[in-house]
Amino acid sequence: MENYNLLSDKEFVERLRLGDHTAFKEVYKRYWPLFFMHAKRMLGDWEMAKDIVQDIFC
């Protein structure tokens, strides 16, 4: 089994393009907190930030 934690962003993009669901899960885990904190800072609303970040990934 490959260690997805070691993949670069470029490698993730390629795997996502190929429909790799494990790569999507790893991208979600890697970037959800970063996107959430940025959205929360911009919006000032915790729930709205969660919803917007979820929409981004959908």
- Flag whether the pTM goes above 0.85: no
Check pLDDT > 70 for residue 39. Answer: yes
Rounded to an integer, the average pLDDT of 43-48 is: 96
Rounded to an integer, the average pLDDT of 19-35 is: 93
When computed from its CA atoms, the radius of gyration of the chain, rounded to whole angstroms, is 13
Mean pLDDT across the chain, nearest whole number? Answer: 92
pLDDT confidence of residue 1: 60
pLDDT confidence of residue 44: 96
- Exposed, middle or buried: residue 7 (CB in 10 Å: 0-12, 13-18, 19+)? middle
Confidence of residue 2 (pLDDT cuts 50, 70, 90): confident
Q: Are 26 and 7 in contact (CB under 8 A)?
A: yes
